[in-house]
Amino acid sequence: MFTKNPVSETKVGKPSLIGYSSKDLSEIAVEMGQEPFKGLQLFKWIYEKNSKDFESMTDLPKDFRNKLFTKYSLRRPMIKNQYISEDGTRKWLTSFDDGNQAETVMIPEDNRITLCISSQIGCTLTCKFCYTGTQRLVRNLSAGEIVGQVIIAKEQINNCIDDKNKEKKTISNIVLMGMGEPLYNFNNIKKSIEIINDKKGLSISNKKITLSTSGIIPQIIKCGEELGLNLAISLHSPDDDTRTKIMPINKKYPIKELIKACKLYPQISNTKLITFEYVMLKDLNDSDEDAKNLVKLVKGVNCKFNLIPFNAWPNAPYECSSNDRILKFQKILQDSGLGCFIRTPRGLDILAACGQLKTDSKIPNHRKSL
Ligand code: SF4
């Protein structure tokens, strides 16, 4: 099902405060002659109460509200199109101030709602099984654009889930698994996580947030130390030749080094595991031998596996392994004592499942020729 957003596009104007942390807003309050705590109140209005205009922020002095209105806006990304899957998954084509677009996916389950957000428009990494990888990188998303995806998702969830399920009307988990390599946009991810975590605002704990990376080794430890998020690694093969074939980044950051970095990841313990994601590609990485080699490879890493049945997209060069093959592969990993789950594809009918996101945004011609 597909619905077009009736709201017309807003013209870019004053800078939006979406993406400003509580510290930033306190500084703005001081600049405007207020006590710093007025900035914290402003933060609450923006992120907790989801206020869309300064006028409604009734506990802020009128003079402060007027100054804010003169200089800033509360503009957020706009949902251009919405796609609704038969299984309840929703994909939003989200449009930003410059007209570029990224996709955000909301996956409702029995007792939780997971939000999959994008970190870049396009991607530099050209993983061969991923639709986003066929779209050249246009640019990184700003912290405001990353947080903005969470804000508009919250709003949509409030509008779209029926009243009987009111208590479930909240985002329980966030996965940075949408378009782009989040560790190539580290500073903006860091800033957005700070805002998303803040108890005075969106208040989603970093224990509920998972960052998925193709394995940018120098940033992995930094991610653990500075962001403290759950980590998922796109592994997809136990041997360098195959992995390089499907993930060219493996040439730069080969498997052995990647596993070493995983062992050093600060958050990892017997109860907190790294997730290895493994897309099941017919006759490419799905043999019994591959499974046995994986077991050897991850020895000593506190980890579990998510097997992802390959989700096809237009002109995809691969096929998904058979169900029987996936089950046999899973059994080998489980028999070795590893946790191994098969991910149920969600939103397949609207191209919202893993590896299926892509937009029409392109690098402008004048930038291409630089
Ligand atoms: S899998 Fe992730 S890193 Fe690889 S091309 Fe797709 S979006 Fe980029």
DSSP 45: I
Q: Considering only 7-21, 24-38, 78-92, 270-284, which range has the smallest mean pLDDT?
A: 7-21
What is the C-alpha separation between 229 and 91, in angstroms, rounded? 24
213 pocket-lining for ligand 1 (C-beta < 6 Å): no
Would residue 113 count as lying in a domain? yes
**Mutate which of 116, 129, 132, 138 for ligand 1 pocket (most atoms within 8 A of beta carbon):** 132
Last residue of a domain, one of 32, 53, 71: 71
Residues 100-144: tens digit of each pLDDT: 999 999 999 888 999 999 999 999 999 999 988 888 999 999 999
Contact at 8 Å (CB) between 116 and 56? no
132 pocket-lining for ligand 1 (C-beta < 6 Å): yes
CA of 276 to the centre of ligand 1 (A): 15
Of all protein residues, the one whose alpha carbon is nearest to atom 4 of ligand 1 is 127
Residue 192 identity (one-letter amino acid): S
Co-location of 94 and 167 in the same domain:
yes
214 pocket-lining for ligand 1 (C-beta < 6 Å): yes
Active site residue 103: yes
123 pocket-lining for ligand 1 (C-beta < 6 Å): yes
What total number of domains does the chain contain? 2
138 pocket-lining for ligand 1 (C-beta < 6 Å): no
Contact at 8 Å (CB) between 246 and 208? no
Would residue 230 count as lying in a domain? yes
Would residue 4 count as lying in a domain? no
* Amino acid 292: pLDDT: 98
Residues 262-279: tens digit of each pLDDT: 999 876 666 589 999 999
What is the C-alpha separation between 305 and 59, in angstroms, rounded? 49
Instruction: Give the β-pairing of 274-280 and 113-116.
Output: unpaired
* Amino acid 9: pLDDT: 37
Residues 147-206: tens digit of each pLDDT: 999 999 999 988 876 555 555 578 999 999 999 999 999 999 999 999 999 999 899 999
Co-location of 40 and 119 in the same domain:
no
> Which are the contacts of 345, defined by CB distance < 8 A and separation ≥ 6?
308, 309, 311, 353, 354
Is 351 exposed, middle or buried (CB count within 10 Å of its CB: 0-12, 13-18, 19+)? buried
The domain in which residue 329 lies consists of 78-368
* Amino acid 168: pLDDT: 58
Co-location of 217 and 171 in the same domain:
yes
What is the C-alpha separation between 93 and 100, in angstroms, rounded? 10
Q: What is the mean pLDDT of residues 81-104?
A: 94
Co-location of 172 and 24 in the same domain:
no
Contact at 8 Å (CB) between 188 and 140? yes
* Amino acid 198: pLDDT: 96
CA distance from start to end of the chain: 41
Co-location of 285 and 322 in the same domain:
yes
Last residue of a domain, one of 56, 71, 86: 71
**Mutate which of 124, 130, 253 for ligand 1 pocket (most atoms within 8 A of beta carbon):** 130
Active site residue 303: no
Nearest ligand 1 atom, CA 212: 2
Angle at 61 between CA 58 and CA 65, to 5 degrees: 80
What is the C-alpha separation between 115 and 98, in angstroms, rounded? 24
Co-location of 90 and 62 in the same domain:
no
CA of 127 to the centre of ligand 1 (A): 6
Co-location of 188 and 39 in the same domain:
no
Co-location of 151 and 246 in the same domain:
yes
Residues 283-304: tens digit of each pLDDT: 999 999 999 999 999 999 999 9
Co-location of 67 and 139 in the same domain:
no
Would residue 10 count as lying in a domain? no
340 pocket-lining for ligand 1 (C-beta < 6 Å): no
Would residue 364 count as lying in a domain? yes
ipTM: 0.97
Nearest ligand 1 atom, CA 133: 5
CATH number at residue 149: 3.20.20.70
Co-location of 48 and 118 in the same domain:
no
Co-location of 353 and 206 in the same domain:
yes
Q: What is the mean pLDDT of residues 21-49?
A: 97
For 136, the token pair is 């050249």
Catalytic: which of 103, 181, 194, 277? 103
CATH number at residue 48: 1.10.150.530
Last residue of a domain, one of 29, 46, 71: 71
Would residue 234 count as lying in a domain? yes
Number of CB atoms found within 10 A of residue 306's CB? 18
Of all protein residues, the one whose alpha carbon is nearest to atom 7 of ligand 1 is 180
Our measurement of the distance from residue 229's CA atom to the centroid of its chain's CA atoms, rounded to an integer in Å, reads 12
CA of 76 to the centre of ligand 1 (A): 25
Helix (H) or strand (E) holding 161: none
CA of 207 to the centre of ligand 1 (A): 23
Would residue 11 count as lying in a domain? no
Co-location of 38 and 183 in the same domain:
no
181 pocket-lining for ligand 1 (C-beta < 6 Å): yes
CA of 40 to the centre of ligand 1 (A): 37
Nearest ligand 1 atom, CA 234: 1
pLDDT higher than threshold 90 for residue 92: yes
User: Which among 120, 304, 272, 141 has a CA at the least distance from the CA of 206?
Assistant: 272
pLDDT higher than threshold 80 for residue 365: no
Would residue 194 count as lying in a domain? yes
182 pocket-lining for ligand 1 (C-beta < 6 Å): no
Catalytic: which of 123, 130, 303, 354? 354
